[in-house]
Amino acid sequence: MKKIRWQLIIIFLTGLVVGALLLIEQPTSQTPASAPQPSEGGAYAEALIGSLQRLNPVLDFYNSVDRDVDRLLYSRLITFDDHGNPVADLADSWGISKDGTIYNFALKEGVLWHDGKPLTSADVVFTIDLLRSDSPVIPSDLQAFWKSVEVTAVSDTQLQFKLPEPFSPFLDYLSFGVLPKHLLEGTNFADLIDASFNLQPVGSGPFKFDRLIAEDGKITGVVLSANTKYYGSKPFIQQMVFRYYADDQSALDAYRNGDVQGIAGISKATLPEALAEPDLSIYTGRLPELSMVLFNLKNTDKPFLADAAVRKALYTGLNRQWIIDRILNGQGILADGPIFPNSWAYNDSLSRVEFDSTKAADMLKDAGYVVGTDDPNVRAKEGVQLSFTLIYPDTPEHTLIAQAIQKDWESIQVRVDLEAVSYDALLNERLANRDYQAALVDMDLARSPDPDPYPFWDQVQANSGQNYTQWDNKMASDYLENARVTLDDSERARLYRNFQAIFADDLPALPLYYPVYTYAVGSQVQGIRMGPLYDTADRFASVTSWYLQASSATSAPAETITP
């Protein structure tokens, strides 16, 4: 039922920095000190890289800067924490039938739209009906999914979802922003795309639309104000201002000029300048992306690709940390498997494959691949040379990464030819048709907190699905298929840990690194907490705790932790 889209990233997202910020423990004093207490007030201005299109959650799938603002305007049934666990938002509670096909939700009482009208379950059903629309602005797999689910408003605060079959990752699909039926009912989808509502939105989130900022007939910003009737924790900051810039250098200049206090994304090019700003705090979080080398395990021209011993040797002979340090300027985290670290399903007991070219050469020799007499630079076994072609996205950064991989493998006498192809050709022709030997790809799992690896690694997906390696491992597939239908979280975690152990032992693909997102905010803005991200808008997960003003009325120990 669930189809996750692959994206071969053409330009890596701006603003990546390795790891989380270090917290420096200050000296402990025995003398009591006043702890600052957040108070309401102040305005925060942030630079967004891009331009406003539509402030509507069913129309923002392809514009991240719209999703950033929508995160503050609209509420969702549920959200997800840093570990990918569901957290109630509009939902007050929910229950699941024993067979896993019926989900009953109770909404919080007294939730109001920004115009004062009550939010009801009818609004949720209305939004889902829009998501079913046959429109290119909504991902086709999402349309198909919601067409298969029966949704009923049992009462103003009671909802029921009926699935055609058990599907444990279902909660992933309930984090959409809810739209007001009373304002949009009767508007067909074609008209909705150009509706005035998209520039004068009404939501139920912690902030409400105030006004647009326009210069020379062009929208250059948007102003939000605190929602005093918000059902959750009321925000301390009373006004959020977003201004749009073409790139992060322009945004950094705007910060220096005092036009903004935050920058939504610092690239590796401007990172040194940002770090040099004395009052600019840098926050980082892992992005929901994974760069990998895929192997076509069923390629008859290169039978050695199906040999796990060869794949393990290639992984051992690959200096991934050098790629992160020298090509990504340190803006990445080593990856050890297909499930993100910090996820509730992550297996942290697996050993990391360390770079060791000497060991890699010995591993190939032990597998029977020795330097041939015909070509002393290429290993061979029974007349078959270790030689293959690596395709990769035709971008400057991917070119450098592919060249680094080529150099590492040639040092252990494995010949690698490089072939740059366009994004569309790589995904829709070469991978889809299984017309490749090895491929450097970036897997994008944005807005998918549930780790469900089924679409990429289950044997059922090998021929026509997204299992492009054509990995055919029955035990791994059994774990994935069972994890999709079991409702017990601990059992799902056990199944996924077992799957990861099999993956690490067989290595149908080589995980390289996870990129990270870098967020810059002036040090006067306090209370910011940012963990691993499933979307860049997740940086606002704790926005109601941010503050600009504080008092020192409460006595507390002087021991503090600061960025």
User: CATH number for the domain including 435?
Assistant: 3.10.105.10
Q: Residue for token digits 């070219």?
A: 357
Boundary of a domain, candidates 196, 217, 240: 196
Nearest Cα residue to 335 out of 519, 556, 510, 103: 510
Spatial contact of 119 and 111, defined as CB atoms under 8 Å apart: yes
Looking up residue 84, the CATH number of its domain turns out to be: 3.90.76.10
68: which residues sit within 8 A by CB, 6+ positions away? 48, 242, 264, 536, 537, 540
187 shares its domain with 142: yes
d(CA 488, CA 490): 6
What CATH number does the domain containing 269 carry? 3.40.190.10
Considering the domain architecture, whether residues 177 and 83 belong to the same structural domain is answered as yes
For every residue of 202-263, DSSP letters joined together read: ---SSEEEEEEEEETTEEEEEEEEE-TT-SSPPPS--EEEEEEESSHHHHHHHHHTTS-SEE
Q: Which domain holds residue 245?
A: 38-74+205-279+523-563
The answer on 210 and 188 residing in a single domain is no
If asked whether residues 244 and 95 sit together in one domain, one would say no
Can you tell me the distance from the alpha carbon of 14 to that of 320, in angstroms, rounded to the nearest whole number? 20
Task: Write down which residue in 196, 229, 264 finishes a domain.
Answer: 196
| CA gap 69, 241 in Å, rounded | 10
Residue 25 lies in a domain: no
What's the maximum distance between 2 C-alpha atoms anywhere in the chain?
A: 82
Q: Where are the alpha helices (DSSP H) in 282-354?
A: 308-316, 320-322
What distance in Å separates the CA atoms of residue 16 and residue 328, rounded to the nearest whole number? 8
Burial classification of residue 159, based on how many CB atoms lie within 10 Å of its CB (0-12 exposed, 13-18 middle, 19 or more buried): buried
- Whether the model clears a pTM of 0.85, i.e. scores above it, the answer is yes
With respect to residue 8, please indicate whether it lies within any of the assigned structural domains.
Answer: no
Q: Is 159 helix (H, G, I), strand (E, B) or coil?
A: strand
User: For every one of its 563 residues, what pLDDT tens digit does the chain have, with 9 covering 90 and above?
Assistant: 444 444 433 333 333 333 333 333 334 444 445 567 999 999 999 999 999 999 999 999 999 999 999 999 999 999 999 999 999 999 999 999 999 999 999 999 999 999 999 999 999 999 999 999 999 999 999 999 999 999 999 999 999 999 999 999 999 999 999 999 999 999 999 999 999 999 999 999 999 999 999 999 999 999 999 999 999 999 999 999 999 999 999 999 999 999 999 999 999 889 999 999 999 999 999 999 999 999 999 999 999 999 999 999 999 999 999 999 999 988 999 999 999 999 999 999 999 999 999 999 999 999 999 997 778 899 999 989 999 999 999 999 999 999 999 999 999 999 999 999 999 999 999 999 999 999 999 999 999 999 999 999 999 999 989 999 999 999 999 999 999 999 999 999 999 999 999 999 999 999 999 999 999 999 999 999 999 999 999 999 999 999 999 986 544 444 444 43
Residue 27 in domain: no
Q: Are residues 424 and 311 in the same domain?
A: yes
- The domain boundary, picked from 171, 196, 221, lies at 196
Residue 275 and residue 333 in one domain: no
Reported as a single tens digit per residue, the pLDDT across 213-239 is 999 999 999 999 999 999 999 999 999
Residues 239 and 364 in one domain: no
Is residue 150 situated within a structural domain?
A: yes
Q: Provide the number of structural domains found in the chain.
A: 3
CB atoms within 10 A of CB 140: 12
Give a yes or no: residue 21 inside a domain.
Answer: no
**19: in domain:** no
Same domain? 440 vs 404: yes
- What lies within 8 Å, CB to CB, of 350 at 6+ separation is 336, 337, 500, 501, 504
Distance CA 405, CA 421 (A): 17
* Vertex 202: Cα angle to 199 and 208 (nearest 5): 95
Give every CB contact of residue 20 below 8 A, 6+ residues apart in sequence.
284, 285, 531
**442 and 495 fall within a common domain:** yes
Angstrom distances, CA of residue 202 to CA of 180, 197, 208, 322? 7, 8, 7, 48
Helix (H, G, I), strand (E, B), or coil: what is residue 435? coil
| Residues 452, 348 share a domain | yes
In-domain check, residue 289:
no
The counts of H helices and E strands in the chain are 15, 25
- Based on the fold, state whether residues 212 and 145 are members of the same structural domain: no
Q: How far is CA 304 from CA 120, 358, 388, 414, in A?
A: 59, 20, 10, 12
Judgement on whether residues 220 and 368 belong to the same structural domain of the protein? no
Contact 169, 481 (CB under 8 A): no
pLDDT tens, residue by residue, 141-163 = 999 999 999 999 999 999 999 99
Residue 350 lies in a domain: yes
